[in-house]
A and B are shown apart, each in its own frame.
Chain A
Amino acid sequence: MPADHVERLRREGRIVIVGASLAGLRAAETLRAEGFAGELTLIGDEPYEPYDRPPLSKSVLLGKASPLHTELPHRWEVDAKWRLGVAAAGLDLTAGRVRLADGDEVEYDRLLIATGVRARPWPKEEEARLDGVCLLRTREDAADLYRRLRAGPRRVFVIGAGFAGSEVASACREMGIAVTVAERAGAPLVGALGGVIGAVAAGLQTENGVDLRTHVTVTSLEGDPVGRVRAVHLSDESVVEADVVVVSLGSLRNTEWLAGSGLGAGPRGIACDAGCRAFDFRGIVTDDVFVAGDVARSPHALFGYQFLSLEHWGNAVAQAETAAHNMICHGAERRPHLWMPAFWSSMFGVNIKSVGVPPMGEQLMITQGSLAERRFVGVYGHQGRMIAAVSFDNTRWLEFYQRQIERGAPFPVEFPTMDRRPEGLRPVAADFPDPSLPTHGPTVTLSGYSPADQQLVFHPARH
């Protein structure tokens, strides 16, 4: 791309961001902070300015924060046209136009797609419409669920014991509400952290009075004559009476509006390169369409260039900043998105945090603390290297493990650590229900002492 073209883009180009949540806002701020002076349009299907979601399943449900006041603070002034309350409905790649649900069209020179994910609804529509059947993703969902919890339900039923479902159960217990949680796998959090850690989470739930049912699925929701949910039927033929049902079955990526656009977009997200440029459906990278946040699937150098879709707060921020930077610079100045996957959660008074990609781990070592005390750090190993770490009430150590992962540290962990117990002296199977084992290949590490001079180092495969 000729230099003057980029200069003109920065000066008077038109950039459109579809998706006005965390990633969209941070991208807009970065564009302005890096000197983009042209026309900026943000399109969002919700009628609000961007707000923060992590509090919605925690402090909001407990009444410690208002669902209406979790706005994201602006870090820079964003001079933009906001098109809120209207969804994007289509994309014309050739003409460089986004079509809106109200029939309007917006032209762009560069487009950033940050449409995120939405909650996966209960699949049986009629049952999903019963009064008392809730989802938890948006501000309105949280306000609604908060209101129902405040009303003092006799029992809440949570379908799915992932992070969101477990956090809801935790909030219910803290409010003294009876709660049943149903999980298809053998324990809560199994998909994210494996069976060994899942067992710890299960203990945490049952000890806090959650009626936890594992290895079961919900077969149907039963309503009363006036259309309120009354009971939940399970695959083990038991029936649980409940007047609030929270459907917590993960999420769906908001890519339907891109059907037929020619972009490489589908149920698993929108594929893009490490520089956040979207692929078209032929696997060819586009020059003017970028992706960031939950909806993106991008290859990560540290994890075998697997295409990772990360529904992580920090990823949305970092990827948006990288995408925005790359949108308005010359090819040689582009940066790869090298964010270390990380997420946190809190439930039943325990802080849980993870770095890396635990589900890639085959084995687990408890390097500090103990599972029985529910205060520990666990390290996941994959093909002889450290690939992830998780902490329960031990967050302050994770930074160390993150650096070890970045440098491709060996697994099992051989060095001694403070607070190492006998159980942490040898690795055990991490026990993921469906381990996906990528093929053996060359590895890549991040090197450099400061984040500022981190670079990729290629290590050829050993034969």
Chain B
Amino acid sequence: MTQASLVRQITDFANRADPYPLYEELRRTPVLHEEEGGPYVISSYYDIEGLLHDPRISSDAANLAAAGEDDISQAENTGLPPSFLRLDPPEHDRLRRIANSAFGPPHRPRRVENMRGEMAGIVTELIDGLADTRQIDLVDQFAYPFPVTVICRLLGVPRDDEPRFRSWVDPLVATLDPETRKTADAEFVKAAQEARMQLGMYLAGLVEERTKEPRDDLLSDLVHSQGPDGSMTMMEVLSTAVLLLIAGHETTVNLITNGMLTLLRHPDVLQRLRTEPGLSVRIVEELLRYEPPVQIVPQRTCIADIEVRGVTIPKGSRLWLVLAAGNRDPERFKEPGRFDPDREDIQHLGFGSGIHSCFGAPLARLETQIALTELARRLENPRLAEDPPPYRQNAVLRGPRHLNITFDAWR
């Protein structure tokens, strides 16, 4: 195996089911730079953590483009301004603060927690809806519809419109995959642009409704926000809404699916969860370390020369922060390859760290805790129909495309 092909192997679909041996190899060269113009790949926990707090690292879409991006960056060029995920301070801070005042503490401390009952209701409905089947595809029948329904209710997007926005979201998510980016043709770029525009226009319609008649949902709060940071422009509301709608469910689908897959591979833990629902909190934290839904952060550039482990990364270079490799770094975690919800020391990188740390983390945590607890409680003797399951193409947002489960009965 030659060193020069390591990044390609990671993005290669053939290795999607188990990239962890590749990550282990990656960590042997903590700062990997395989080809001229290619990214610097960072895979050790402490280095990633350090860079996520480094003010010389930019997330700005403009800097990223200057760093020699692939053609597909045009796909994001649709007239909508970049979301706060692709901005640096002070703009990032301003937009994130406004969004947060509609979502979390100190202004709306209980917004997520108050959805607990509603979430449990959706989960119950989905499981009850299984009727007398004894085999399901967990992704299509549970792990996808659940977080989609939740984010729709939270934002105030009609659930019935899901098939419409799904057809726009899918091409957008595909643009995040390094492999797709490399092979994208003009048609694909055009389709992605189109999708983003369509999604933006669809949300603009909803935003207009909320401007006239606010309701108790996040869209209304974004439209009407008026704090010390002022308010968002209409375009800012739209790009924030696009971000929240996509990030609000794409990753959670994978977290829930990876979670159930891991539990089925560790039946002792699954058994404990049946009788000890409180364990779900620890299980979800360990999952975020062990099988994080976001495996790589590929959107960072250096605005200065930066030294990492004796290697100088030149100003203007692109970085890939391989969170999933850092999460299994033996320098940081004892027995990192072991799934152990009893771990005391679990400061994982699953939600990133620093100013861009996952905005929706409280929501994703609660959704996954409820989902896994209920699946463990209600499915009798569940088992995997195939292992490993078929995976989705994406190396950045990694998760099974299907997860076929058989069981004896459900309660």
A417 interfacial contact with B, CB 8 Å: yes
**A369 x B89 contact (CB < 8 A):** yes
Q: Quick check: is A367 within 8 A (CB to CB) of the other chain? A: yes
In the complex the two chains form, is A396's CB within 8 Å of B355's CB? yes
Does B276 touch A at the CB level, under 8 Å?
Answer: no
Q: Which residues of B contact A439 (CB under 8 A)?
A: none
For window 46-80 of chain B, which residues contact chain A by CB distance below 8 Å?
Answer: 46-47, 49-50, 53-58
Q: Which residues in chain A, 436-460, are within 8 Å of chain B measured between CB atoms?
A: 449-450, 452
A397 within 8 Å of B (CB atoms)? yes
A62 to chain B, nearest CB (A): 12
Give the Cβ gap from A399 to chain B, nearest Cβ, in Å: 4
Which of chain B's residues 15-53 have a Cβ closer than 8 Å to chain A? 44-47, 49-50, 53
Q: Are B304 and A400 in contact (CB under 8 A)?
A: no
Q: Please give me the residue from chain A that is nearest to B353 by CB atom.
A: A396
Q: What is the CB-to-nearest-CB distance from B64 to chain A, in angstroms, rounded to a whole number? A: 13
Question: Separation in Å of the B284 CB from the closest CB of chain A?
Answer: 21
- What's the nearest-Cβ distance from chain B to residue A354, in Å? 16
Contact A375 B90 (CB under 8 A): yes
* Cα–Cα distance between A369 and B94 once the two chains are bound (Å): 12
- A368–B55 touching, CB < 8 Å: yes
Contact with A along B294-314 (1 / 0, CB 8 A): 000000000111000100000
Q: Would you call B331 and A418 a contact (CB within 8 A)? A: no
Chain A: CB-nearest residue to B307: A407
| CA of A418 to CA of B302, assembled, Å | 10
**Nearest Cβ on chain A to B213's Cβ, whole angstroms:** 32
Cross-chain contact A400 with B46 (CB below 8 angstroms)? no
Residues of B within 8 A of A419 (CB): 55, 88-90
| B53 and A400 form a contact (CB under 8 A) | yes
CB-CB < 8 A to A449: which residues of B? 44, 46-47, 309, 331
Cβ-closest chain B residue relative to A448: B46
In contact, A367 and B55 (Cβ under 8 angstroms): yes
Tell me the residues in window 349-402 of chain A with beta carbons closer than 8 Å to chain B beta carbons: 367-369, 373, 375, 377, 396-397, 399-400
Asked if A228 lies at the interface with its beta carbon under 8 angstroms from chain B, I say: no
Q: How far is the CB of A387 from chain B (nearest CB, A)?
A: 18
Residue A148 at the chain B interface, CB threshold 8 Å = no
- B278 lies within 8 A of chain A by Cβ: no
Tell yes or no: A416 within 8 A of B by CB: yes
Q: Are A450 and B55 in contact (CB under 8 A)?
A: no
Tell me which residues across on chain A come within 8 A of B47, comparing CB atoms. Answer: 449
User: Is A32 in contact with chain B by the CB < 8 A criterion?
Assistant: no
Instruction: Give the chain B neighbours of A377 by CB distance below 8 A.
Output: 55
B85 to chain A: closest CB distance in Å?
15
Interface residue count for B (Cβ, 8 Å)? Answer: 25
Is the CB–CB distance between B332 and A400 below 8 Å?
A: no
Q: Do B309 and A400 touch (CB < 8 A)?
A: no
- Our pick among A369, A375, A396, A416 for the contact of B53 (Cβ within 8 Å) is A396
Tell me which residues across on chain B come within 8 A of A397, comparing CB atoms: 53, 55, 354-355
Q: Given the known inter-chain contacts A416-B303, A418-B55, please indicate yes or no for A368 contacting B354, CB distance below 8 A.
A: no
Residues of chain A lying within 8 A (CB to CB) of residue B57 = 418
Whether B304 lies near A375 (C-beta < 8 A) is no
Return the CB mask of B92-135 against A: 1 if under 8 Å, else 0. 01000000000000000000000000000000000000000000
B303 touches A418 (CB 8 A): yes
Nearest residue, chain A, Cβ from B303: A416
Residues A415 and B331 in contact, CB atoms below 8 Å apart: no
Contact call B90/A452, Cβ cutoff below 8 A: no
A403 part of interface (Cβ distance < 8 Å): yes
Q: Which of B44, B53, B88, B93 contacts A399 (CB 8 A)?
A: B53
Binary A-proximity of B334-366 (CB < 8 A = 1, otherwise 0): 000000000000000000001101000000000
Q: Tell me the complex Cα distance, A415–B313, Å.
A: 13
B355 contacts across to A, CB distance below 8 A: 396-397
User: CA–CA, A325 to B44, complex, Å?
Assistant: 29
B315 — nearest CB in chain A belongs to which residue?
Answer: A416
Q: Please, how many angstroms separate the alpha-carbon atoms of A245 and B302 in the complex?
A: 52
Cα distance, A396 to B357, chains bound together (Å): 10
Smallest CB separation, A222 vs chain B (Å): 39
A408 to chain B, nearest CB (A): 14
Please give, as numbers and ranges, the residues of chain B lying within 8 Å of A403 by CB-CB distance.
50
Instruction: State whether A450 touches B304 (Cβ < 8 A).
Output: no
A373 CA to B93 CA in the complex, in Å? Answer: 12
Of residues 388 through 436 on chain A, the ones whose CB sits less than 8 Å from some CB of chain B are: 396-397, 399-400, 403, 415-419
A418-B89 in contact (CB<8A): yes
A450 nearest CB neighbor, chain B only: B46
Docked complex Cα distance between A417 and B55 (Å): 5
Question: Considering the chains assembled together, what is the distance between the CA atoms of A399 and B46 in angstroms?
Answer: 12
Q: Which residue of A lies closest to B305 (CB)?
A: A415
Task: Report whether B354 and A418 are in contact in the complex, using a CB–CB cutoff of 8 Å.
Answer: no
Return the chain B residue nearest A403 by Cβ: B50
B357 partner residues in chain A, CB cutoff 8 A: 396
Chain A residues with CB under 8 Å of B89's CB are 368-369, 418-419
- Whether the Cβ atoms of B55 and A375 lie closer than 8 Å is no
Beyond A449-B47, A450-B46, A452-B331, whether A400 also contacts B90 by CB under 8 A is: no
Q: Which residues of A contact B53 (CB under 8 A)?
A: 396-397, 399-400
List which B143-158 residues lie within 8 A (CB) of chain A. none
Nearest chain A CB to B358 CB, angstrom units? 13
Shortest distance in angstroms between B316's beta carbon and chain A's nearest beta carbon?
12
**Complexed CA–CA distance, A396 and B49 (Å):** 11
Q: B304: which of A373, A399, A415, A452 is its contact (CB, 8 Å)?
A: A415
User: Which of A403, A418, A452 has the largest number of chain B CB atoms within 10 A?
Assistant: A418
Across the interface, do A400 and B303 meet the contact criterion of CB distance under 8 Å?
no
Complex formed: what's the CA distance from A369 to B304 in Å?
18
| A377 to B354 alpha-carbon distance, docked (Å) | 14
Residue from the set A367, A373, A400, A452 with the largest chain B CB neighbour count within 10 Å: A400
| Residue numbers in B under 8 Å from A375 (CB-CB) | 90, 93
Q: Which residues of A contact B331 (CB under 8 A)?
A: 449-450, 452
Q: In the complex, what residues of A have CB within 8 A of residue B45's CB?
A: 450
**Known pairs A397-B53, A450-B45. 12 more at Cβ < 8 A?**
A368-B89, A369-B90, A375-B93, A396-B355, A399-B50, A400-B53, A400-B54, A416-B304, A418-B89, A419-B55, A419-B90, A450-B46
Sampled A-B contacts (6; CB under 8 Å): A396-B355, A397-B55, A400-B53, A418-B58, A419-B55, A449-B331
What 10 pairs across the A-B complex have the smallest Cβ distances?
Answer: A417-B55, A419-B89, A415-B304, A418-B88, A399-B53, A400-B53, A450-B46, A418-B55, A396-B355, A400-B54
